[in-house]
Copies of this chain bind each other. A is one copy, B any other.
């Protein structure tokens, strides 16, 4: 029995098991407990494209990684310190990621010859030396779980065994000193209507916890103290939920009912699932017949004076392109959210990538420029959504908001803003004539924006449409000079927006010659890599673009003021192209297209190669 514990600043744990093993649930609960301890944290769920991929095979493994620390952290971490593998397939799929000498916890019971075969092992890795460089604990989790639950009335053996994930959670909770109370009350609430299942889950959890505590396992418990976060109220949030909250905030702030029309697609559907519940805020969600219908419905609602929003992932963006171009010519507010996933085509639908940037900017016929912004962190999705709505409403334009699979699924603590502090969004509807006693629907204001006159407003009847419109009057016009003028005026809306944007902020060390410039979800890893570089005493500069089109006015000056510019992206170099084109700077890409985030060590390495 040991009561001493080891203090660590930062820890990475990964749970891996069959899709049916409940790894995501375990991860979620561990995250909740970790948040309660006051750690900073970041998570990364990772699951297969199938609903229930074949049991026992590496393709069917579902995993969840959490990085938590007593200081602030920026990514879900590179290599787990501890890996929980519920079966041979999980071991096969994830052992490579475990840090050298790391802790490995396996469910020994699952290492049967049949399971080994399904996982593709010829010999038992627990016996043939495969795991000998790790601190391995072989725990008969199935047996222990069965034993812990065998006197529960009305529980079937299969049900009993299914709670072994809670055993693992209990054990890991003990190992990292996470309190069990919250988990237990959550289980009690969740399974309130199924007493036997509830009891079994609680018993399995406790058994796992006690298994550690009673020193049946020779591991030292680890303590990770609270992180010195800014004072405030916190919750844990993932990108999908943060985006939903941001849209709600924009709706309440603007007084515009949120009209969210979409067609299900992984991973964007999560946003629909979140918003559909918020009828209390008057959110109108519509599951349309397809993506084209969805964006048209949202645009129709915008014409009707609502906050029209649609969301999708890659393939759905292709389909919405024609209507986005229509919205661009109608100059109506519209928010289009693209939760990027790994492509092209159907690709790897549950994996992450940042490869829709150039499509967002150029993916429509004709000259059809519009604002493109990108969220950078899970909780930052809130601000990005508010910002997208604000630009759309104030500048009367469709806005594309880029998110991605990683941001959507990953979670982190979020210091809750107060809604009062958010800037107002004034829809500023047209209510009367704007040119003597005439109403000119394409008369522009100082932002280049035209009036938003909604049906029901007497006397402002007008007709919009995709044929080129005459400046001012908005009548159909085939006049060559007018087309040139309107093309210019539409482009100028972006220039005027750029003038309103805050400058690109550079976090530069004295003497830094290399700028690492990012956008979107690489924000965390760029920060983490910079920290490592700085830890080595080397100077570096980093900057992150939220506005990709238009970019802040100082972007050119920033990139030109460094000897080297490195642009890490989960694509083959899309921001890279933009920077080269716009600023004629010979920037260098660090590109990864594996469906997974860049690791801090990978980026550190890339940086070192450039500055050494």
Interface of A toward B, CB cutoff 8 Å: 48-49, 59, 313-315, 317-319, 321-322, 325-326, 328-329, 338, 340, 342-349, 351, 353, 355-356, 358-359, 361-368, 465-468, 478, 480-481, 483-484, 487, 491, 571-572, 577-578, 580-582, 584-586, 592-596
Contact = CB atoms under 8 A, between A and B. Distances in A.
B593 A342 contact: no
Contacts of A348: 467-468, 478, 483
A582 B328 CA distance: 28
Contacts of A340: 365
Contacts of A582: 580
Contact of A478 (B59, B363, B584): B59
Contacts of A480: 351, 594-596
A572 B481 contact: no
A170 B134 CA distance: 96
Given A367-B593, A594-B483, A344 B321 contact: no
A363 B580 contact: no
Contact of A353 (B362, B363, B366): B366
Nearest to A328: B344
A106 B96 CA distance: 85
Contacts of A571: 367
A592 B368 contact: no
Nearest to A329: B345
Given A362-B359, A363-B359, A368 B343 contact: yes
Contact of A364 (B318, B325, B346, B580): B318
Given A344-B325, A491-B572, A318 B365 contact: yes
A299 to B, nearest CB: 12
A267 to B, nearest CB: 13
14 contacts: A314-B365, A315-B322, A318-B365, A325-B343, A326-B345, A328-B345, A329-B347, A344-B368, A346-B465, A348-B467, A356-B366, A362-B363, A367-B572, A487-B593
A119 to B, nearest CB: 15
Nearest to A48: B478
B366 A358 contact: no
Contacts of A578: 581
A592 B326 CA distance: 22
Contacts of A585: 584
Given A315-B322, A580-B584, A367 B343 contact: yes
Given A329-B344, A342-B468, A343-B368, 17 more contacts: A313-B365, A315-B365, A318-B364, A321-B321, A325-B343, A342-B483, A344-B366, A346-B467, A348-B478, A351-B483, A355-B366, A359-B363, A362-B362, A363-B364, A483-B594, A484-B593, A580-B584
A317 B344 CA distance: 17
A572 B343 contact: no
A275 to B, nearest CB: 23
Nearest to A594: B480
Contacts of A584: 580, 584-586
Nearest to A338: B365
Given A321-B363, A367-B572, A347 B467 contact: yes
Contacts of A355: 365-367
A139 B503 CA distance: 67
A462 to B, nearest CB: 17
Contacts of A347: 329, 366, 466-468, 483
A452 B246 CA distance: 49
B356 A484 contact: no
A283 B10 CA distance: 68
A315 B323 CA distance: 9
Contacts of A368: 343-345
A561 B262 CA distance: 51
A271 to B, nearest CB: 17
Contacts of A362: 358-359, 361-363
A580 B592 CA distance: 24
A572 B49 CA distance: 41
A484 B365 contact: no
